[in-house]
Structure 1
């Protein structure tokens, strides 16, 4: 018996030299082992198979044995029953402790080998199905049904004097006519040069396009277009402005050949 340093309690060390395996297993294996041991303590929960190659197992070869675990029962139809156990001896020396319901502490043994479990190759398809089922389960939103006590619908009908907040907010969000920013007029000569350059880019423009390009007041732009352009009332260019012939000719004559 050894005396603990923290609370002066006795620690049972009679099994301290017993060899113990440390096994890192997936949650599905842990749940299966726990449920099987809880239902029947005398029933085997799993079987470990050790495979040795007699042709390689000799004094000159240190080939490790292969470990495989087969579960006695699983919680899901697609949960793998066979797992490969990768053994590792490169770890910090550790011991296993236990505590009973009466608060008694005991050393259950020291860890000899460490194992990392993964689904066996023959069960990899079932493991893939299990992962997809788990992902689908967590992505599916659960629906809730609430029973309404007052099912006559009187509380759902608008009463006199009630104001619907959504309708009021929608009215507030309606845009006002015209632009919120007041456009500043440019100098007339400067605007004429800008318009000539725009009509050099393309021969026909609508009033809305010119307002967007020049950012000028609509009435001021109409006065300029009345002096410089012709409005097309019909034809393929209906609804657009184009330069008067005299301005077109002056533009062609000023262009160097």
Structure 2
């Protein structure tokens, strides 16, 4: 035997299926969603409703099947669902055809006793056939006042906006309030350290610019404002008189002294 066959034989165990109720006939019924939700909430020993089958005297005619919901079940509310539930329902019977349908049941072990590494086959304790489907049907509510009210309520729930404006009596603090933001504090600190730029005399500013341009030939406006500590509009007025603004590469957007004010030594 190969290793693959050994792995498959050990991973899948043979299970016994209880066939005691295999010959029992069962009905496969499609029910509305509100019915299934109420039945899930019901306890296992209560009466969810009553089924009435009326056989016709005419040969070849299908019987009339009605289902009346229990009053206790009707009063049970499902969160987020319409509160109105129709009581009377009718079954629309259809044939099974050539299909061979059966109902299985699976009894599982207690989740606390089973380990986390157990497979689905290990957890299932008992598998049984509960019966063979001999009749298919569809459960439909009877169109009466309760059914009309149900459809109205469903339409209201569907058209209800997901986001609504609600008026609150007291403010809701979802964040911790701050007296001032970090950006404002840093800006105020910077302004306090630099101080307010006061206009100097025009001749003093020109002399300062001449001394600055002795070190380098080209400067941008940001550096000139920082070095002279003058308002930018006032500084630009003086620069237009003694400097040239370059608009082309390689010294684009930079200032230099006019030729009549230059006193640079020629490079050897």
TM-score by length of 2: 0.48
TM-score by length of 1: 0.50
> Which protein has greater RCO, CA pairs closer than 8 Å, 6+ apart?
2
